[in-house]
Amino acid sequence: MLTLDPKDLKTAQVHQYLLHAVAPRPIAFASTIDADGNVNVSPFSFFNVFSANPPVVIFSPARSGRTGHTKNTLDNVRVVPEVVINIVNYDLVQQVSLASTEYPKGVNEFVKAGLTEEPSLKVKPPRVKESPVQLECVVKDIVELGTQGGAGNLVIAEVVMIHVSENILDPETNMIDQHKIDVVGRLGGDWYSRNSGASLFKVAKPLTTIGIGVDQLPAYVRNSKVLTGNHLGQLGNVERLPDEEAVLHYRNSGAINEAFEMYGQHREKLEEHLHHIAARLLDEGNVHEAWLVLMATH
Ligand SMILES: Cc1cc2nc3c(=O)[nH]c(=O)nc-3n(C[C@H](O)[C@H](O)[C@H](O)COP(=O)(O)O)c2cc1C
């Protein structure tokens, strides 16, 4: 394990370690205006949502690591405390990157990046028409985290209007379809990630029941050489183990007869084989049957 004290590193190195590790980060494509009404739009991946009631997002335009200067976006929200956070999807990402060029103050990145201004309803900065979700926000507070190059500035913004493109909605529920929005994340260096297709997966929430926990799994399951930490997490997220009757019924159903025929005399091999079957079932999300398989010899 490489163990580092940030005090011993250059800011650029701390930045690199943190940005590769704390990833992927969503991207706020923030449009703001200055006192004269000049429009600015720039991306910030030090960004997230922190509250739903009131709805609050925070992003952080840092002081330049090279010059220590504040960014135009920060200067703008200090004089006109309003911002539109435009969410970045895959179709937008190259233009967003282009808009991050450090153009001089007063240059409109909408023009440089070839994007379309759409008037907002409750705030003065325009929205990015091409963005799938646009959040009109009022800036409530700005928290300066330092005064040196690389220091962040938390722009705490309350969402006062939400616009969602119909193209990304589930037509039945009018909610956002996670497959359709295709949001991108920023990682370290030049790396980005896409959130669609095979990279999307679900994890069942431990909401309605209190899971027994990994500590309560029988030792032969907890110490399995086949099952991974993810498998143990799934197995621990059940309220109780299947009862004897259910296990016996499953054992007699013939579903795992082949395993018993192959390894019946070799208990260790039989168990290992059953654990492989359980692992496959867990990967398919079938926790209940995985438990029945695991308990078939106990
Ligand atoms: C995807 C992406 C994410 C970025 N995230 C941040 C960030 O979180 N904080 C920051 O200070 N700069 C970030 N940058 C760099 C700024 O966008 C860049 O410095 C920009 O020129 C600032 O514009 P402004 O001076 O007009 O506000 C990011 C750049 C890209 C491409």
Picking from 130-139, 243-252, 253-262, which range would have the lowest pLDDT averaged per residue? 253-262
Instruction: Output the residue whose Cα is nearest ligand 1's atom 30.
Output: 43
Render pLDDT for 132-161 as a digit per residue (tens, 0 to 9).
Answer: 999 999 999 999 999 999 999 999 999 999
pTM of the model: 0.91
pLDDT of residue 297: 85
Q: Are residues 185 and 193 in contact, defined by beta-carbon separation less than 8 angstroms?
A: yes
Phi, psi of 6 (to 5 degrees): -50, -25
Confidence of residue 255 (pLDDT cuts 50, 70, 90): confident
Residue 32 Cβ inside 6 Å of ligand 1? The answer reads no
The residue type of 243 is: D
Pocket test for ligand 1, best of 40, 48, 71 (most atoms within 8 A of CB): 71
The residue type of 229 is: G
Please compute the mean of the pLDDT values over residues 165-170 and round it to a whole number.
98
Output the CA 60–ligand 1 centroid distance in Å.
9
Please compute the mean of the pLDDT values over residues 249-268 and round it to a whole number.
89
Q: Percentages helix, strand, coil for the chain, rounded to the nearest 5? A: 35, 25, 45
Q: What angle do CA 107, 108, 112 make, to 5 degrees?
A: 100
Q: Scanning the structure block, which residue is given the tokens 């949001």? A: 183
Whether the per-residue pLDDT at 52 is higher than 70: the answer is yes
Output the CA 31–ligand 1 centroid distance in Å.
12
pLDDT of residue 79: 98
Please compute the mean of the pLDDT values over residues 59-68 and round it to a whole number.
93
Residue 38 Cβ inside 6 Å of ligand 1? The answer reads no
pLDDT of residue 244: 94
Render pLDDT for 204-221 as a digit per residue (tens, 0 to 9).
Answer: 887 577 899 999 999 999
Instruction: Output the residue whose Cα is nearest ligand 1's atom 9.
Output: 61
Residue 62 Cβ inside 6 Å of ligand 1? The answer reads yes
With the CA atoms of 88, 123, 120 and 154 taken in that order, what torsion angle do they form, in degrees rounded to the nearest 10? 0
Assigned CATH topology for domain 6-199: Pnp Oxidase; Chain A (2.30.110)
Q: Are residues 84 and 120 in contact, defined by beta-carbon separation less than 8 angstroms?
A: yes
Residues carrying CATH 2.30.110.10, the chain: 6-199
Gap between the Cα atoms of 164 and 127, Å rounded: 12
Output the CA 257–ligand 1 centroid distance in Å.
60
